[in-house]
Structure 1
Amino acid sequence: MPKIRVIVVDDSALMRSLLKEVIDTAPDMECIAAAPDPIIAREMIRELNPDVITLDVEMPKMDGLDFLSRLMRLKPTPVLMISSLTEHGSEVALRALELGAVDIIPKPKLDIAQGIQNYADEIREKIRMASKAKVRALAKEHVASPSHSADAVLPKSVRPLMKSEKLIIVGASTGGTEALKEFLLPMPPDAPAILIAQHMPEMFTKSFANRLDSLCRITVKEAEHGERVLPGHAYIAPGHSHLVLGVSGANYVCQLSQAPPVNRHRPSVDVLFRSAANVAGRNAVGVILTGMGKDGAAGMLEMRQAGAYNFAQDEASCVVFGMPKEAIAQGGANEVVPLKDMTQKVLAWLAANGGRALRI
């Protein structure tokens, strides 16, 4: 099988050397070139046609985001952004995802050599994932963590509360930042409450929520422990915690848990979906979007068994058809829907099944 061919673009000679070593020690990939700036990288990419590019954000001669924008317009290629996990950097990284980057690799702040080695398995896994991702021309947690099931966070139950309030429960991973934006933008201000588990480093989730909040008609925020779940609001799981749907009196509430990662992720989609099965039952609508792996498949089946109605994103519109594919295979999805139709399909189903008529 041919090796995954990677070009590293970073103005730091140390980073180029470290990333090349991480890549070249894997038997299924090789660093075919390393460039100190986008101008040199442009010629390398044109000549060598790599499978994946790792790209720094702040570089001389041309900003990484500017280069990414041009690349995705002229020669769409899977790109992994290298970003320091700072508040400013997180905003830049989110912009990179909007421009078409497949994912983000955190750049260590201190002891770069050791930090890169600590992330080596994750870097290699993200390169493998990126090599399989579908990228389109631009138009307008640690992998080594032990794998647990949702049992590590909360027990399974199929005795939901007797309530009539509807909820939308969403899971996503690779490619999910843009998929979530497309899903949430058409939501009307009086939409049912939406709870979201998106695989994302903890320093990015608050900035991601703030960005969506500035674009959407609904309120989008990072979930807080114990807060009431309200219509017209979307709650995004913080990158450091599982998001669990709970209840306090007659109200749904957000609960956060730092229990072990599930399916190597915290937040885990399986955990959120199971909590919706436990608490909301038939009052929940499940949505699973683009992502690598199987997180969410078992939880979506539990939701369906508890009476929820579930939608999975179709293969053609996914960046990575992993999570939806597994959910469909396990029988958790009632419908398979293109991303462009997802919001309308969900709202139409809610209107026809006990929810208020909502207009996009």
Structure 2
Amino acid sequence: MSSVKKSAIRVLIIDDSATMRGLMAHALQKDPGIEVVGYAGDAYGAREAIKTLNPDVVTLDIEMPRMDGLTFLEKLMRLRPLPVVVVTSKTESAEEIEVSALKLGAAHCLFKPAGAAGASLFDALPGKIREAVQQGAEEAPSDRDSSVGSEINPKKRIFLGASTGGVDALVSVLRSFPRNCPPTMIVQHMPKKFIPLFAQRLNTLCAPTVQIARGGTKIEPGRILIAPAGEHMRLSRRDPDICILEDRPPVNGFRPSVDVLFKSAAEVVGKHCVAALLTGMGRDGADGLLSIRMAGGVTLAQDEETSVVWGMPRVAYELGAVDRPLPLRKIAASLLDPCRTPALRDAS
């Protein structure tokens, strides 16, 4: 390895594919603040490499011989906690793997490109490595500065929609939210059995309270509501501080649907909406985001480079619901900043 600064982040790459190890190393070595200190082809080699090399962070494949990555991750977090970025193949069970990895303590979960032609998708890896080190090895959420609450316009609400790749994207966004964040409502397309695990995981990582919405749940500062599987979530027209759940037909093939939430927000909250459409396949949420923009709200969409699937945000951009897509790292601040407008400046 070439000499680098002592302060460089030391990375161990764990993957049974020499090709993938090479692609990841190439992407990481473009960052002068990151040093790839070693490689391991399976969990047993990784165990010895961690003892010998003492890395700051590891990348971890899930499908490996002799011991799968999730089993190794559980042992690692129990015996020698380290920041971990899971980098694995996209399969039918990707959502299950993503939720399980995050629940076990991984900082992020990325999906491998299909062969060398997709190597540019690893461009996001250095940023994920840096975020993982900053987060630390599964530390409890800090009591983030709740004094910003005095600067938050109490009328502001945040609305988020995501699908494929949204678990990791939402973790990245919500970890930056202060304990007394604006009321936040989320629709994430996800199989029913994973939603409780996801909500539980977010609660361990985020300063605000995260819970699965119920009909009649109060919408208030410091609370993040996730739509349950099989029910649409919207705001009450009679009381904008109340969450309503409805067993109506799917919209855009989904129940819950992002469009249902976003269109409800545009109708009930109007210009006080701050909404973002994150990574996901299809177009759910694009029309709703446009409705929020037409109502005077703030609208954001994740960009192609940082999305696992640039479907929903792309359609929103093409419809004119956003001026330009943003990289994931800028989404949290772009959601919170419009909510910090002094009350006297937006008293209407």
TM interval, short-chain normalised: 0.5 to 0.7
Written as runs of structure 1 = structure 2, the 5 A alignment for 1:26-175 is 42=16, 61-65=66-70, 76=87, 78-80=89-91, 82=93, 92=100, 94-95=102-103, 99-100=108-109, 102=111, 134=121, 137=125, 139=129, 140=132, 165-175=155-165
Identify if the C-alpha distance between structure 1 residues 240 and 45 changes in structure 2 by more than 3 Å, giving closer, same or farther. Answer: farther
Of all paired residues, the percent bearing the same amino acid is: 38
Instruction: Pick one of 238, 263, 272 that aligns with 1:283.
Output: 272
Task: Count matched residues.
Answer: 257
Identify if the C-alpha distance between structure 1 residues 221 and 328 changes in structure 2 by more than 3 Å, giving closer, same or farther. Answer: same
How far apart are residue 181 of structure 1 and its match? 0.9
How far apart are residue 336 of structure 1 and its match? 2.8
Residue of structure 2 in register with 1:223 after alignment: 213
Residue of structure 1 in register with 2:318 after alignment: 329
Is residue 344 of structure 1 aligned with residue 333 of structure 2? yes
Residue of structure 2 in register with 1:30 after alignment: none
TM-score of the superposed pair, with normalisation by structure 2: 0.62
Distance in 2 between residues matched to 1:334 and 1:219, nearest whole Å = 31
Distance in 2 between residues matched to 1:204 and 1:248, nearest whole Å = 32
Deviation per CA, 1:69-113: give whole Å up to 9, x if none: 99xx9995532263898xxx996265488652559xxxxxxxxxx
Deviation per CA, 1:267-303: give whole Å up to 9, x if none: 1111110110111111111111111111111111111
Distance in 2 between residues matched to 1:266 and 1:355, nearest whole Å = 39
Identify if the C-alpha distance between structure 1 residues 45 and 215 changes in structure 2 by more than 3 Å, giving closer, same or farther. Answer: same
Residue of structure 2 in register with 1:117 after alignment: none
Residue of structure 1 in register with 2:59 after alignment: none
The answer on whether the counterparts of 1:291 and 1:324 sit within 8 Å (CA) in structure 2 is yes
Q: Find the residue that maps to 1:287 and give its secondary structure.
A: strand
Instruction: Pick one of 305, 312, 316 that aligns with 2:301.
Output: 312
Residue of structure 1 in register with 2:198 after alignment: 208
CA RMSD of aligned residues (A): 4.0
Deviation per CA, 1:26-57: give whole Å up to 9, x if none: xxxxxxxxxxxxxxx947988xx9xxxxxxx8
The answer on whether the counterparts of 1:166 and 1:355 sit within 8 Å (CA) in structure 2 is no
Identify if the C-alpha distance between structure 1 residues 84 and 268 changes in structure 2 by more than 3 Å, giving closer, same or farther. Answer: closer
Distance in 2 between residues matched to 1:74 and 1:307, nearest whole Å = 38
Q: Find the residue that maps to 1:65 and give its secondary structure.
A: helix
Identify if the C-alpha distance between structure 1 residues 330 and 67 changes in structure 2 by more than 3 Å, giving closer, same or farther. Answer: farther
Q: Which amino acid aligns with 2:93?
A: I
Q: Which amino acid aligns with 1:100?
A: C
Q: Which amino acid aligns with 2:217?
A: E
Distance in 1 between residues matched to 2:64 and 2:177, nearest whole Å = 38
Distance in 2 between residues matched to 1:213 and 1:228, nearest whole Å = 18
TM-score of the superposed pair, with normalisation by structure 1: 0.60
Identify if the C-alpha distance between structure 1 residues 195 and 356 changes in structure 2 by more than 3 Å, giving closer, same or farther. Answer: farther
Deviation per CA, 1:105-155: give whole Å up to 9, x if none: xxxxxxxxxxxxxxxxxxxxxx9xxx9994554733xxxxxxxxxxxxxxx
Deviation per CA, 1:249-281: give whole Å up to 9, x if none: 4x5111112212111111111111011011111
Q: Find the residue that maps to 2:305 and give its secondary structure.
A: helix
Identify if the C-alpha distance between structure 1 residues 98 and 198 changes in structure 2 by more than 3 Å, giving closer, same or farther. Answer: farther
Q: Find the residue that maps to 2:244 and give its secondary structure.
A: strand
Distance in 1 between residues matched to 2:119 and 2:216, nearest whole Å = 39
Instruction: Pick one of 204, 226, 231 that aligns with 1:241.
Output: 231
How far apart are residue 61 of structure 1 and its match? 2.9
List gaps (5 residues or longer) in structure 1: 1-40, 50-56, 104-126, 141-162
